[in-house]
Amino acid sequence: MTLLHLLRRVGLNLPLIFFREPWQPHKYRFQESVIQEWDLLVYTWHPYESAMQQKDDEWEVQNWYRINNSILTCPSGITPPQEDMPYVCAIDMLKRPKQSHLLTEPIDAAWVGHKRCDSDPVLGGDAGTRVEGRIMPEHMSLLFPIRDWTHDDVWNYIEEYSVPWDKGRYEKVNGKYREKPKKRYNADYVHACTACVDSRENSPKVIYCPKLGFEIESNVNKVPWVEPEKMSYMND
């Protein structure tokens, strides 16, 4: 939101790329309201490949997208399911519809809102912001205009310019902003079951599947996993 507001302040009313999961649509109430109120042109499309990754009790589905001939990734975090929310299976997240290319005109440049202080819970890293800009295949540029900003810088800007922010996802506690711990409206996470894809050595080999209603074997060896040598936008 901060980057979008900055660009619009200087007269750059650009189309947006919206990484959106099809599950639990209530998490996108804020985004939908901004799209309508600001009359934004938004593209949403499917990845061409997805794979599971895990670190301790953190899971993500990593999704690969192709723009021109450039490859970008965007992970979907997974947090434990809640009884009062629509049930989602992590394997179904892997099987979401796929498409080979971004369905729009060739893109010359993309402005990215990642900051150096951002870090992925599974991959770590610095969100790929080691440079001011990166030249991708077919001469597409990725630009990181707020890469040196801190989290406080972002919130200070939001307060100073009255930028809309997602009150379902964030809260202010003792004068500091933070993400709400239950992630109920956090669009970076899907509340999904990962019981049969737990890759830790001590994980059970027989699991009760709430989707099927009976016991099944572990699916750890039956789903795609992110290859260690495969580059990610967080660490490359």
In this predicted structure, the answer to whether residue 126 has a pLDDT above a threshold of 70 is no
Is residue 229 predicted with pLDDT exceeding 70?
no
How many CB atoms are located within 10 Å of the residue 72 CB? Answer: 20
Give the residue with greater pLDDT, 84 vs 127: 84
Q: In terms of Cα–Cα distance, which of 235, 234, 230 is closest to 49?
A: 230
The CA-atom distances, in angstroms, between 30 and each of 15, 44, 127 are 18, 16, 24
CA 1, 178, 234, 191 torsion-angle sign: negative
pLDDT tens profile 161-219: 999 999 999 999 999 999 999 999 999 999 999 999 999 999 999 999 999 999 999 99
- pLDDT, tens digit, for every residue of 56-101? 999 999 999 988 888 888 999 999 999 899 899 999 999 999 998 8
pLDDT reported for residue 230: 58
- Predicted TM-score (pTM) of this structure: 0.89
The answer, yes or no, to whether residue 127 has pLDDT greater than 70, is no
Question: Per mean pLDDT, which range of 43-47, 104-108, 125-129 is the poorest?
Answer: 125-129
Q: What is the pLDDT of residue 135?
A: 87
Q: Which residues pair with 60 in a beta bridge?
A: 53, 77
pLDDT value for 68: 85
Indicate if the pLDDT at residue 9 is higher than 80: yes
For 192, counting Cβ atoms within 10 Å of its Cβ (0-12 exposed, 13-18 middle, 19+ buried), the class is buried
What is the Cα 198 distance to its own chain's centre?
21
DSSP string, 189-209: EEE-B-GGG--STTS-SEEEE
Which residues, 6+ apart, have CB-to-CB distance to 149 below 8 Å?
2, 115, 117
Over residues 12-42, the pLDDT tens digits come to 999 999 999 999 999 999 999 999 999 999 9
Residues 39, 209 contacting (CB under 8 angstroms): no
- Region of 83 please: left (phi>0), alpha (psi -120 to 50) or beta: alpha
Q: Can you spell out the DSSP letters for 60-119?
A: EEEEEEEETTEEEEEEEEEE---TTS---BHHHHHTS---SS-SSSPPSEEE----TT--
| Predicted local confidence at residue 232, as pLDDT | 53
